[in-house]
Structure 1
Amino acid sequence: MLSLYVIATFGVVVLFSFLTAPRRASVEGFFQGQVAGRAPGLCTLVLSQVTTWIFARSLMNSAILGYYYGAAGTLAYAAYYLSFLSGGYIVGQLRLRGAASVQDWLGARFGTVGQSAYNVVVALRLLSEVFANLLVVGLIFSAVLPEMASAGTLAIVAVAVLGLAYSAWGGLSAALRTDVVQMVLFLAVFGVAFIYLVTQPDFSIVEIATSQGASGARQGWVLLIVALLQVFSYPAHDPVMMDRGFIADRKTTRNSFLHAFWLSALCILAFGVFGIHAANLGAAYEGQLLTTWAGMFPSWVFVALLVSLLVSALSTLDSALSSAARLCVEELRLAPRTLMGGRVVMVVFMILGGALTLWGNTTLFDAVAVSGTASMFLTPVMVAVFVFGWSVPMWAYLTSFGAAILGAAAYFLREVAMVAKVLPDAPKYEQLLVICVFVLLVGFAAVLIGARRVAD
């Protein structure tokens, strides 16, 4: 019966998404998000930014980190949402310099090589978004249909096909319009579950704020430092956020980033409370917390949490696919700038992302850590140019890029014997912190030396 409620409610969300998507598709709407020749307004941009950033993986990450590391863990993940402030700053600087995208700016300074290095990181980011959100879908349906061995796989295929269907019809314009509906539905469904939680006799805001989690708060504070180190460059490698920074006027865009910050941060913190509360009650961790919640809450609250996750997964999938189409068509020119060209790209990314769910890794934070570390090559470059007005030579840019890719690979392969010998003998998040510091030191050293040589 529980599974029927989840499927029926999610079916309604999908139906609304199809009804909201534009009936007629145009090339400009598909790649630039325009509807009837007009740019999206402030409300559309804010809700689209928020719903594509509080995606299913992020909600689960916030809750899981809260469970293990208490308030520090959830706060650490919420710190990534400072990306809206740094992202707004980056977009403002790029538009001030006449750039129409991050690739446009990098191409003017570092040519095709500079663009290619960036595009590799962006493509991996988009692929990880498709993979991670489909993975959460699989985990949800495996939890609600434990008696059906293939439930997770079938759900992944079904959501992939449904999400691809309306995304491929309208591209970015479809993503923007459906994001609004999906965000409103998310806030309504999740809001009901959150109100239930905070009105329970065993809920204490003081205990939530002071919680040490099931494993102690230390690693949560370590992750907070990691997030603060990564947060300046993190939005620049996220094409979903960056694409929305160039489709409206500057004032609307600036305000959308500001409002998206506080709204998304509140959602992430609120969802993290469910994980913290589970740890405070001494509940055993099972199945990415899904099975844990099933035993803690009434069925309708559990259904509300699952539907919240499914809605956020769907909203992120369509945005990731539309950004993938723009990347491959407008930036890489791997396909013609036609509706068919964009749709083919979407199909390819959905297939590749779905295939990665067979990989077997269910550690949701790993994708954030790896892509966030890889993006850090942009931090020294952007600080040098935007803050100090320096000119960064190509070799310094590539040195920073190489250090970031090496760091990301080291964290991803940390359990390989050869890599483990190089990394400190410490918990994985402390290893990640050491890697991030290394990446920034190498990058800033290269940029500083290169900028001085240019000045001379």
Structure 2
Amino acid sequence: MTWMPMAAVGAALFVFVLVGLRARTAGDSLDDYLTARGSQGATTLGLSFVASGLGAWILFVPPEIGAFVGPLALAGYAVGAALPFLVLAWCAPALRRRLPAGRSLTDYAGQRFGPAVRGWVLLLSLLYMLCFLAAELTAIGSVVALLTGGAGRWAVLAVAVTTLAYTAWGGLRASLATDRWQAWLLLALLALVAAWLLGQPGAPAAAPGAPAGAPLPVALSVAATLVIAVTVANLFHQGYWQRIWAATDERALHRAAWLGALGSAAAVALVGTLGIVAAQRGLPLGSPPVPLFALVQPAPTFIVAGVLVLAVALVASSVDTLQNAIASLLVTQRAGATLAGARWATVLLMVPVVAIAWQGLSVLRLFLVADLLCATAAVPLLLGLWRRTPRHAALVGMAAGLLGAVLPDAWAAGSLWQGLVAATFPANVPTLAPFAGALVGSTAATLTLAWLAPLHAADAAR
């Protein structure tokens, strides 16, 4: 490996630090540090949604889905990447009107449903975001190891320290400023790398050794699972909720959400298509399979450098958002929080996360469990925007979602224990039954209680 890829990565990280530090808040307001309230237009927010939502996972998962399951499942993944922003476009304006001084989803959960639901939502958000953070830093180490043949620990530490340098000091404004640069950079690099890889001669479709696409029922099941899992989990991403209060107005927020949805869906579809191409060319996809890197590894140095910088931009854009989001979620749970406390929280939370990422451990199973728990709670929370929903409906609905996540596989196996085991995804593969059961159970219970509740009682619970 020549010096060129490493130099490109170093230059990109240096630029991110400069942009982030220049964007730091001028005052000492904790609220501005956490929300940048009312300061961001549609374009900046939309690019931030794209950059925050697209992590290094898009270099691994969509290509594998495309290669082994096929275009239909890939389309489901692209829809799943877009849907959280469309849900945001629908519900965020109402939430802004309800809590004009809000800072987080837990603020809404506590105000609408009480401390028990607030605490549960806090735990779900932290679990999901910490898994996301550890997975992203682990991924950049894996990318560096795959493309350079060396240890990836230096990359994990470099990204963690670089992003901390500007998020701990500049807060959300620094994250938003770097997101804008990172979004343009990653979209441009993704387009250039994809154009070069797709333009290379290769074996025709159905080349010997190419994986056969999954049968239609399997592809439909995978697509539905991905849509549910990705959508509900991202609704507990505090970084997105911070940004709804950063928007200048509801129109800017609505346009930004649509821009985030379209950009994210297009990126997932494009990267997944490269996985399909790698499979069709009969390339050795590796074990575990990494279809995109099967295309990239024989490429010239400038393409390898482009992919490395792309990976760094993807990881840095999601990591800085998560750092600020987790710190924001923690410091807003107690009265008397200070700006210094928010900065220390940002720094300290990274110590265990970097330690986990250095081990190169897979957090996929924990990630899937976190996604499933989010599926039990997403609909009851959103139904809180309906005035008929009583306060107790959310807790009952979430409990019903937990039961629904277990029952389908328990019924099929004739054993409650087997249902519990299936809901922990022992094969590290998402399956439809637990997610569908969680969604149906939580929705049915919450709607039933809402319809049975007297209207005046529901209004009193608002």
* TM-score band w.r.t. shorter chain: 0.7 to 0.9
Matched-pair contact (CA < 8 Å) for 1:381–1:392: no
Aligned amino acid, residue 65 of structure 1: I
Show the counterpart of 1:242: 241
Matched-pair contact (CA < 8 Å) for 2:34–2:171: yes
Matched-pair contact (CA < 8 Å) for 2:221–2:432: yes
Query: How many Å separate the matches in 2 of 1:267 and 1:107?
Result: 35
Q: Compute the TM-score of the two structures, normalised by the length of structure 1.
A: 0.85
Show the counterpart of 2:181: 181
Matched-pair contact (CA < 8 Å) for 1:117–1:401: no
User: How big is the shift at 1:198?
Assistant: 3.1
Matched-pair contact (CA < 8 Å) for 1:73–1:220: yes
Show the counterpart of 2:395: 398
Aligned amino acid, residue 303 of structure 1: A
- Please say which of residues 300-309 and 225-234 is displaced more in the overlay: 225-234
Aligned amino acid, residue 7 of structure 1: M
Query: How many Å separate the matches in 1 of 2:261 and 2:293?
Result: 31
Deviations 1:180-233 (A, max 9, x none): 1111221222221112133334488xx69xxx9556255442121123334664
Show the counterpart of 1:13: 12
Show the counterpart of 1:144: 147
Aligned amino acid, residue 167 of structure 2: S
Show the counterpart of 2:126: 123
Query: How many Å separate the matches in 1 of 2:265 and 2:430?
Result: 26
Verify: 1:333 aligned to 2:334, yes or no. Answer: yes
Residues 144 and 195 of structure 1: is their aligned pair in 2 closer, same or farther, counting only changes over 3 Å?
closer
Show the counterpart of 1:55: 55
Matched-pair contact (CA < 8 Å) for 1:55–1:133: yes
Q: Compute the TM-score of the two structures, normalised by the length of structure 2.
A: 0.84
Verify: 1:216 aligned to 2:214, yes or no. Answer: yes
Query: How many Å separate the matches in 1 of 2:232 and 2:407?
Result: 19
User: How big is the shift at 1:437?
Assistant: 2.1
Show the counterpart of 1:414: none
Matched-pair contact (CA < 8 Å) for 2:397–2:442: yes
Query: How many Å separate the matches in 2 of 1:106 and 1:139?
Result: 37
User: How big is the shift at 1:115?
Assistant: 0.8
Aligned amino acid, residue 8 of structure 1: A
Partner SS, residue 302 of structure 1: helix
Deviations 1:210-262 (A, max 9, x none): xx955625544212112333466444211111111111111111110011111
Residues 144 and 431 of structure 1: is their aligned pair in 2 closer, same or farther, counting only changes over 3 Å?
closer
Show the counterpart of 1:75: 75
Verify: 1:194 aligned to 2:194, yes or no. Answer: yes
Task: Give % identity.
Answer: 24
Note the 1:5-404 alignment, pairs <5 A.
5-23=4-22, 24-25=24-25, 26=27, 27=29, 28-33=31-36, 39-80=39-80, 81-98=82-99, 100=102, 101-146=104-149, 148=150, 151-202=151-202, 213-214=211-212, 216=214, 218=216, 219-230=218-229, 233-248=232-247, 249-286=249-286, 289=290, 291-330=293-332, 332-333=333-334, 336-338=337-339, 340-357=340-357, 361-362=361-362, 364=364, 366=365, 369-382=368-381, 384-386=383-385, 389-394=387-392, 396-404=393-401
User: How big is the shift at 1:121?
Assistant: 0.6
Matched-pair contact (CA < 8 Å) for 1:393–1:454: no
Matched-pair contact (CA < 8 Å) for 1:223–1:429: no
User: How big is the shift at 1:453?
Assistant: 4.0
Aligned amino acid, residue 391 of structure 1: T
Residues 59 and 30 of structure 1: is their aligned pair in 2 closer, same or farther, counting only changes over 3 Å?
farther
User: How big is the shift at 1:409?
Assistant: 9.6
Query: How many Å separate the matches in 2 of 1:407 and 1:15?
Result: 48
Query: How many Å separate the matches in 2 of 1:328 and 1:199?
Result: 48
Deviations 1:251-303 (A, max 9, x none): 11111001111112111111111211111111222255265234453332233
The answer for unaligned runs of 5 or more in structure 1 is 412-416
User: How big is the shift at 1:64?
Assistant: 2.0
Residues 72 and 79 of structure 1: is their aligned pair in 2 closer, same or farther, counting only changes over 3 Å?
same
Query: How many Å separate the matches in 1 of 2:97 and 2:53?
Result: 25
Query: How many Å separate the matches in 2 of 1:145 and 1:221?
Result: 37
User: How big is the shift at 1:391?
Assistant: 1.9
Query: How many Å separate the matches in 2 of 1:145 and 1:77?
Result: 29
Deviations 1:94-146 (A, max 9, x none): 12434534223222221111111101111112211210110111101222343
- Please say which of residues 214-223 and 183-192 is displaced more in the overlay: 214-223
The answer for unaligned runs of 5 or more in structure 2 is 409-414, 456-462
Matched-pair contact (CA < 8 Å) for 1:121–1:374: yes
Query: How many Å separate the matches in 1 of 2:407 and 2:298?
Result: 38
Aligned amino acid, residue 104 of structure 1: D
Aligned amino acid, residue 68 of structure 2: Y
Show the counterpart of 2:459: none
Residues 11 and 335 of structure 1: is their aligned pair in 2 closer, same or farther, counting only changes over 3 Å?
farther
Residues 445 and 214 of structure 1: is their aligned pair in 2 closer, same or farther, counting only changes over 3 Å?
same
Matched-pair contact (CA < 8 Å) for 1:92–1:250: yes
Residues 398 and 14 of structure 1: is their aligned pair in 2 closer, same or farther, counting only changes over 3 Å?
same
Matched-pair contact (CA < 8 Å) for 1:130–1:349: no
Aligned amino acid, residue 300 of structure 2: P
Query: How many Å separate the matches in 2 of 1:159 and 1:123?
Result: 21
User: How big is the shift at 1:428?
Assistant: 5.5
Query: How many Å separate the matches in 1 of 2:445 and 2:234?
Result: 22
Partner SS, residue 260 of structure 2: helix
Matched-pair contact (CA < 8 Å) for 1:46–1:256: yes
Query: How many Å separate the matches in 1 of 2:240 and 2:418?
Result: 34
Verify: 1:436 aligned to 2:435, yes or no. Answer: yes
Query: How many Å separate the matches in 2 of 1:441 and 1:9?
Result: 48
Residues 10 and 363 of structure 1: is their aligned pair in 2 closer, same or farther, counting only changes over 3 Å?
same
Residues 62 and 345 of structure 1: is their aligned pair in 2 closer, same or farther, counting only changes over 3 Å?
same
Residues 95 and 367 of structure 1: is their aligned pair in 2 closer, same or farther, counting only changes over 3 Å?
same
RMSD: 3.2
Deviations 1:407-450 (A, max 9, x none): 78999xxxxx9954656799968862110122123213322342
Query: How many Å separate the matches in 1 of 2:4 and 2:336?
Result: 41
Matched-pair contact (CA < 8 Å) for 1:377–1:397: no
